[in-house]
Structure 1
């Protein structure tokens, strides 16, 4: 931290700020994204459009073009990526966790699962998954819950709640708290027991990944915070790696398109909507 004498004048503050250029910390965006030091296998550096490491207790957001692939990596085994998706130019069409579960007859997210809006259309498809520990049922943490558990849940605290961080990400995209539906999360698992109880199954370990494909232009909101059912007393959440790179949307004949009759219908709904708008 700079001393008061260094930043006491506008010139001193300017010189101090400029001296920070090029400095790196463990969790921050990489700009330009193409300078990311280790592109995924088969991905050209120039095709990377978003590269960031999100620390525990932080959030990020981005607008991605249709066909872009978004790879999330749990670097140390304690990340929990809470996700919301919105149609980029029509934010009233947004992720509907209930329909994502109900329409596809499956509450457990994994490869070939589709993330649906309440319009019966596909916002994103899950094309790869090496974790298998996710949650489409619980949502993210709240101010009241984190205050009760950790003593504080405000965004600037040491234990920010996921919904409070989503509010900040939403505001930066012209959205309000009323626009925030229940989220889904990756890398910390939840299962439903035979008696209906909710069981927290935790992480599959470090370096597991999930890759999503945007099937429309989408606004992505991510909050990396502990899962609300995590039983640990301490606020525990490690770094999340976020990479996005150019790709192609799912097309007829792709195994993801044809994985289920319901999914195929959702893709057809999406294609019809985009065709009518002159996008596809």
Structure 2
């Protein structure tokens, strides 16, 4: 059946009736509005405290602006999600994730609990505060159109095997940003390790039911692309749903162990606090 046969929109009145007929229809891939309506609220979190709740489709993307101190939780229910992430200072998006500093300042290239995500300004944008997966990647970035065309034969954002870069472009455009504003990303739930010869080994997933939690150290613009990892050796485009929840909380402060874990991290947290307090945040 054609779209014209499914929808009667040949007049304003019919178009309005057709649009209103869609009220109440749902999809398993959707943001929950209000967020408190999520059927997957994390244990121990009162649903009324949620400010973002969404299930991102395999091959889908999401984006959100979050206040400083917001807790962001990513869940991999099937073991096949791959959450590629870029974060920006929402007040000044020219400040964005710097993957080189993110692995340099903590002297650790493998993401996990306690790991700060840094900008090029020496400030912590977000911190990984909990992790049950330990299968992540700060080396490879996300997939490109050329890569997916070569491997899967299709890289269209609306196609069966969208590239992460294309989805980031779409998400960034919602906030007035363009392709040139996109830095390299990190990814969660599909691990990579560096071998002695400098080569990469893809570890895959830790299995279903794992999660990662981050806290926003500054107001954040969050971009997510849920696409297959570029080193995934499987010939098929394999990716599962990604669940996203966020709720208000405190940013990292002097009472937190990670605040003074190393001199370098302490300085980065102090830089973030200085920036926030100067703006009354």
TM-score > 0.5, shorter chain as reference: yes
Match of 2:65 in 1: 63
Change (3 A) 1:14 1:196: same
CA displacement at 1:45 relative to structure 2: 1.6
Aligned to 2:212, the other structure's residue is in SS state: strand
Structure 1: distance between partners of 2:268 and 2:217: 11
Query: Unmatched 5+ residue regions in structure 1?
Result: none
When the two chains are superposed, the root-mean-square deviation of aligned CA atoms in Å is: 1.3
- Equivalents in 2 of 1:8, 1:261: separation in Å? 64
Report if aligned partners of 2:9, 2:18 keep a CA contact under 8 Å in 1: no
Name the counterpart of 1:51. Answer: 53
Q: Is the 8 A contact 2:31 2:53 kept in 1?
A: yes
TM-score normalised by the chain length of structure 2: 0.96
Of residues 130-139 and 268-277 in structure 1, the stretch that sits farther from structure 2 once superposed is 268-277
Of 76, 85, 88 in structure 2, the residue corresponding to residue 86 of structure 1 is: 88
User: Is residue 2:273 matched to residue 1:271?
Assistant: yes
The answer to whether residue 180 in structure 2 is matched with residue 178 in structure 1 is yes
TM superposition shift of 1:22 = 1.7
Report the equivalent of 2:8.
7
Q: CA deviation at 1:44?
A: 1.6
Shift of 1:15: 2.1
Contact 1:64 1:218 in 2 (8 A): yes
**1:42 and 2:40 correspond:** no
- Post-superposition Cα deviations, 1:206-257, rounded to whole Å, max 9, x if no partner, equal 1100000000001000000000000010111110000011111111020221
**For 1:73, what is the secondary structure of its paired residue?**
strand
Pair 1:132 & 2:134 matched: yes
Pairing partner for 2:78 from 72, 76, 79:
76
CA contact (8 A) 1:127 1:256 kept: no
Q: 1:37: how far off?
A: 2.5
Rounded Cα–Cα distance in structure 2 between residues aligned with 1:31 and 1:77: 26
Q: Post-superposition shift, 1:4?
A: 1.8
Maintained 8 Å contact 1:126/1:211: yes
Q: Distance in 2 between matches of 1:204 and 1:80?
A: 11
Contact 1:78 / 1:203 at 8 angstroms: preserved in 2? yes
Assess if the C-alpha contact under 8 Å between 1:166 and 1:223 holds in 2: yes
**What CA distance in whole angstroms lies between the structure 2 residues aligned with 1:45 and 1:84?**
26
Among candidates 113, 116, 128, match of residue 115 of structure 2: 113
Q: Deviations over 1:121-180 (max 9, x none)?
A: 000010000000000010000000000011111212111100000000011011011100
How far apart, CA to CA, are the structure 2 residues paired with 1:19 and 1:256? 52
For the residue of structure 1 that corresponds to 2:128, the secondary structure is strand
| Structure 2 CA distance for aligned equivalents of residues 103 and 178 of structure 1 | 25
Secondary structure in 1 matching 2:5: coil
Match of 1:153 among 135, 149, 155: 155
Name 1:194's counterpart in structure 2.
196
